[in-house]
Amino acid sequence: MYRIVALLALSAWAFTLASGLSESLAADRYINTSIEVVKEYDSNVLFTEKDKKGDFVIRIKPKIQVYNDSERTRVQFTSSMNGEKYVKNPDMDTIETDNALSITHAWTQKFSTSLSGFFRRDETLDALLESTGVVTSRQERISYGAELAASYTPSPTRELRGGVVGGFTDYPQGYYPDQQFIQAYLDHSWRLTPRATVGVLVGGSLIDYKDEATNDTVHGTIYGRYDWDQTTTLEAGVGGRFTWLEQHVPSSTPTVKLVDDDLIFVYPVVTEDSSDPGLLFNAGITKNWTTRFSSSLQVGREQYNSADVVSAERNFVRTVFNYKYSDYASMGLRLGYNLNIEESSADTDKTRYLTTASWLRWRLSETLTAGLGGSYEYSVEDVGSADIDRDRYRLWVSITNEWPRLFENH
C-alpha cells in the first residue's frame, strides 16, 4: 500500500513539474555553490564503551542549490555531499548525500501547493546521535520519498497548512529492518495581534517495519508564539500522542513438528499488540542581548520511532550562545542534554546523552571562511542492571568557500 501511495505522489510531482516548465523558461535563474573542507580528530569514531578507536578524519562537503523563479512558480534543486576519509581505518570511508527537488506554485494570492522528492544516503551512528541522542550501530541508511503540501491563507490573520509525506528507508546491510512510511499533518494558525500567534497542529504516521512490526501514531499540539519586543521571542506548545505497536515475535511456547521422520521444536511467530500514550511539550526563548550577542534556550519532550522497532520519548534541553566579535570574526557555544526512554515489550531502557561544542569563525574574504572548533559527548545507557558509559571528544579545523548567484539570469 505504501509503495502505491508513494508512486502516485512521485507521479503527480513529475507531472506538475513538467507542467510548470513553460512558465519557468523566462524565470529568474541562479545557482549557489559552496565547498567545505574539514580536518578532524575523533577520539572514539564508533562511540563505543571499550576498544575505542581514535582517528583523523578528512571531510569534503560540496553543496549546490539551483533556483528557477517565475512570478508564481519556484523550482528548486538542492544537493549536498559529505565524503569522509579515515586515516587509520580506511574501511570506514564513506560518502553521504542529501538531494531534494521541489516545485512550489501559487495558484492564487491565497492558495499555493508544493510537490517535492528527496533521496538521502548516510550512516546511522552520527545521524541518529545528532537527531535523537540514541547510540546505534554504524550502518548504511538510504531514504527516499515524496511530499505533497498545500498552504491556504483565507485572511491576513489566518493560515492553514497541510501535507502528506510517503517514503522508504532501506538498510542494505540488513542490520535493521527496512521501513515504509506515510505521514500526514494539518496546521492551523491565527495571528491574534501583530506580536502574538497561536495554532493547532495535528497529524499521524504509519510505519511498516518489514516482516517485523507496524507502528501507528497520532498526535496533536496547541502552540503559541509571542514577540515580547524587538529582541525577545517566546514560543511554547503542549499536546499529546498515542502510539499503537504491533510486533511479530517468536512465541515463548514451542510446538512439535515432524520433519523427515524427526520431531523438532518450532517457535511459531505470534503477534503482540501494545499501546502507549505520551505527553508532548516544548518551550523556547530567543534573545538578542546586543547587536553582537544572542542566545536561545529550548526544552521539551517529543516522540520518535527508532530504527530497531521501538517507540521512544526524548526529553531535551539545549541552548546556543553566539557572539559576533567583529564583521569578520564570530564565536559560539552549544550545550545539550537528552533523556531518551525506549519502551519495548521486554524492558524499558534509558539513555542520557550530554553534548557540548564551541567554535570560532573568521571571514577571510567575501566568499572564504575559516573555522576552528571542538566538542565533547558523553552517554550513559541503562540496560537492565548494567550501565554502559561512552564518551569522545572531537577537534577540527575547516575552510569554506562560497560562490553565490552564479549564472544569474533575470
pLDDT at 115 over 80: yes
27 in a structural domain: no
Higher confidence at residue 192 or residue 71?
192
Grid cell digits, residue 202: 495535528
Distance CA 318, CA 295 (A): 11
pLDDT at 120 over 60: yes
Q: Return the beta strands (E) in 107-251 as ranges.
A: 111-123, 140-155, 158-170, 179-191, 196-209, 213-227, 232-250
**What does each C-alpha distance from 263 to 260, 278, 316 come to in angstroms?**
8, 47, 53
389 in a structural domain: yes
Split into its structural domains, the chain has a count of: 1
353-394 per-position pLDDT tens digit: 999 999 999 999 999 999 999 999 999 988 766 789 999 999
Residues ≥6 apart with Cβ < 8 Å to 89: 45, 53, 55
92 in a structural domain: yes
Backbone angles phi, psi at 21, to 5 degrees: -65, -35
Query: What's the CATH number where 73 sits?
Result: 2.40.160
Select from 136, 138, 129, 137 the least CA-distant residue to 355: 129
Other beta carbons within 10 Å of 174 = 9
154 in a structural domain: yes
Percent pLDDT > 90 in the chain is 68
Q: Which long-range contacts (CB under 8 A, 24 or more apart) does 41-45 make?
A: 41/394, 41/395, 41/396, 42/392, 42/394, 43/392, 43/393, 43/394, 44/390, 44/391, 44/392, 45/86, 45/89, 45/92, 45/392
The whole-model pTM stands at 0.85
Determine the residue type at 89: N
The answer to whether the beta carbons of residues 358 and 372 sit under 8 Å apart is no
Instruction: Show the domain range for 330.
Output: 2-22+33-409
Distance CA 126, CA 116 (A): 26
57 in a structural domain: yes
Q: What is the rounded (10 degree) CA torsion for 318, 325, 401, 45? A: -40
Select from 28, 1, 34 the least CA-distant residue to 214: 1
| Among the ranges given (169-173, 200-204, 247-251, 387-391), the one the predictor scored with the smallest mean pLDDT | 247-251
225: helix, strand or coil: strand
- pLDDT given for residue 22 in this prediction: 43
- pLDDT given for residue 350 in this prediction: 87
Residues ≥6 apart with Cβ < 8 Å to 131: none
- What average pLDDT does the structure give for the chain? 88
359 in a structural domain: yes
58 in a structural domain: yes
**What does each C-alpha distance from 196 to 69, 110, 228 come to in angstroms?**
32, 21, 9
- pLDDT given for residue 83 in this prediction: 97
252 in a structural domain: yes
Distance CA 142, CA 57 (A): 22
Q: β-pairing, 28-42 with 386-409?
A: antiparallel
**Please, where are the H alpha helices in 214-319?**
none
Please, which pLDDT band fits residue 256 given cuts at 50, 70 and 90? low
Residues ≥6 apart with Cβ < 8 Å to 304: 132, 312, 314
